[in-house]
Structures are given as C-alpha cells and as structure tokens.
Amino acid sequence: MTLTDEQREFRSVVRKFVDARIAPLAGDIDRAAEYSWETFEALKSMELTALGYPEEYGGSGASLVDQAIVAEELARACVSTSLQFLISKLGMLPVINFGSHELKSKYIPRICSGESQCSYGLSEPDAGSDVASMTTKALADGDSWIISGTKCWITNAGVSDLYTVFARTSGDRHKGITAFLVEAEWGVQVDKLEHKLGIRGSPTGVIRLDEVRVPDANRIGEVGEGFAAAMHTLDRSRPTIGAQAVGVAQGALDYSVGYMKERRTFGRPLSDNQGLQWMAADCAMKIEAARALVYRACAIADEGDPRGELSMAGAMAKCFASDTAMQVTTDAVQFVGGYGYTNEFPVERMMRDAKITQIYEGTNQIQRMVIAKKLFS
C-alpha cells in the first residue's frame, strides 16, 4: 500500500522528533543497560503513549499503519525506545479486544496518559513457542481468582505496574486458558532480570505470582477464551515487530551509506566501489519489500481482517522484515569495517538489536510454520 500525504507528513514529524530527542541518547542507553525514563517522558510529551488506543478511552484512535510508522522511526534510532512505545499496546490488546467496558474504562486511560505501563505475560520456562503447555494456574475463589505460576521473557518486567497474565483454569489444552489483568502491587514479584545481547535499555525478566488474588472484574474475556485472545493479539502485534525490524535496518543502511560517502580509501570514497554499491542496493530493495509487507499486514488489521488473511500476512511481515534486519545490519558492520565492530559507532548496536526481532513474538521458525499451515490447509 502507499502512504497518504497525511501519513507522509506524520512520518516527517516523528522523524524530526526522534532525531532531536531519541537518537542522541541511544548509545548511552545501550551502554548503561537501564530503562530510560527520559525517552519515555519524551514519548509522553508527543502523546505517543495514547496513539493506538480508542478515542472513547482517552486514546488517539490511530490506525495500525500509523503505529507502524512510529515504531519504525523510533527503531531507526533506538530499538529500546521503540519497545517502550510498543509494549503497553501488546499488553493491552487483549483488554481492547476482549475486555469489559468497565475494565477498559479503568485502565486504558492510565496507559494513554503514561501513568501506567503494561506487560504481556504469556511465555513460561517450559511453554514458549508451545504456549498451550503453560502451567500457571488460576483457581476460582468466590468473586476472585488465585493465580500461581512463573512467566518468563517479560518485557518491561519491574517497570510495568500492570501485567496481562494468561493462566490455566481447566485441564483442556486450548480452551482451559483464561486471561487476567493483574496489578503489580497485588503481589507480582520480579525474580530475575536478564543480561542480554541487545535491546539493553528494555528490561526483560522472570515474574512470579504466588497465590496472587485477582478480582473477577479483572478477568479479560470469558473463562477459557485466553488462548484465542493470545493468538488474536499476536496476529495484530507481529506486524509492528516487522516495523521495528524495518526501522533498525533503515537506520543501519542510512548510517553506513553516509559513512561510505565520507570515508576515503585509495584516494577515493568507499562509495565509489561497485561491490559495495551493489550490496547497499540489495539492502535497500529488501528493506522496501519488508516495509511493503508490514504496511499490508497493518492495513489488513485496520480493515478488521475481513478475508482471514492476517495470520499469514503478519507472519510473513514479521519473518521477512526481521531476517532482512539481521542481514542489513550485518552488512552495515561490514560497510563500516573495523570501526563498525566498535561500540563508538552505532551499527554494532543495531546488529545486536536486530537479532531479537527474529526471536520474540514468535520465532521465525514459528512464523514459517504459520505460513506453511495456511499454504497447505
């Protein structure tokens, strides 16, 4: 799809904001390996924390294509900040699409204002790609539920004050899972924070719930609807991970092209070498193809997926874009040479950050399984 003039202008505004407020902090955020409240406050100042939420609950009602534009532009400078923008939406998508009006009214305005942040608690140590094998349990107790279990790979662990937690409410493999919105102060414990290769400014951790009491009013959707809600959510969030991948690839290519124009060897700019020109051209083609897949998947989601295409389109977008990001950022390190291998230059950070896009929100092997299942169904 082609962006409208309004969307192109929106991209220009976001890019100027990112270049001024986010890009100068990206290297320090990576080196410190700490959550940046400065960049989060910058997102709030631009009302980007409200962008993807319904207007009736304090949001801007922006399309998923618009959200992808923001995710891409942020990731072009700093993938960790891009995750600050995306993670609460991931956590709140089940509430938006399956939650009661009361639940939405209570919590979505808090997310939009930036008062609260939300994480998505699906994976477990023995239930990652195979999420239906989860063992976290929720037992009914009057008008409450008692939840016990461990969730891992939780983005924003310890920063978020809200967690969407999926728990087993019966023995049925798929229809025995229910979703709940849990406030951290009710007893969510952070057992561990991971030391990671990339996205070092975004905490990832293990959370534990030991008999945490959650009111039934905080149940998301019907009992047994949790697995369907989880898959519905991932179909709608994967395209924005594709956008993130496109962004970091574009940032790496932009930087390395600028470097090659300035860097001189054998009496001429590096950019005069046809071998490097063709490598860069291949990078540019793949980025543009990835961007097209991402926008198409987002547009399908915005239409409400009338033809049932979103699972396959989202998997294609996420998989192709993240594979592209890994290839482009690796080439970017090569373009910059020895300097590219040092942390004084941004391309090595971009390469480390790009790797996660091939893994989280469903590994690319899982994406290929989704695509193949659709092909052969």
CA distances from 38 to 34, 94, 121, 239, 366 (A): 11, 28, 25, 27, 35
Q: What is the pLDDT of residues 4-32, one digit of tens each?
A: 999 999 999 999 999 999 999 999 999 99
For the segment 133-147, the average pLDDT, to the nearest whole number, is 98
Angle (CA) 13-93-106 rounded to 5° is 95
What does DSSP assign to residue 176? T
**Domain closes at, from 206, 225, 244:** 225
Mark whether 241 and 350 lie in a shared domain. Answer: yes
Mark whether 236 and 177 lie in a shared domain. Answer: no
Q: How many domains are contained in the chain?
A: 3
Q: How far is CA 3 from the centre of its chain?
A: 22
Q: What is the pLDDT of residue 1?
A: 77
Q: Which domain holds residue 211?
A: 118-225
Mark whether 132 and 214 lie in a shared domain. Answer: yes
Is the model's pLDDT at 58 over the cut of 90?
yes
Active site residues: 361
The sign of the torsion formed by the CA atoms of 20, 27, 203, 246 equals positive
Mark whether 221 and 272 lie in a shared domain. Answer: no
Q: How far is CA 297 from the centre of its chain?
A: 15
Q: Which CATH number covers residue 91?
A: 1.10.540.10
Contact of 135 with 127, CB cutoff 8 Å? yes
Q: What is the pLDDT of residue 186?
A: 98
Amino acid occupying residue 331: D
Q: How far is CA 272 from the centre of its chain?
A: 37
Mark whether 10 and 76 lie in a shared domain. Answer: yes
Q: What is the pTM of this model?
A: 0.97
Binned at pLDDT 50, 70 and 90, residue 2 comes out as confident
Backbone torsion region of residue 211, taken as left when φ is above 0, otherwise alpha when ψ lies between -120 and 50, otherwise beta: left
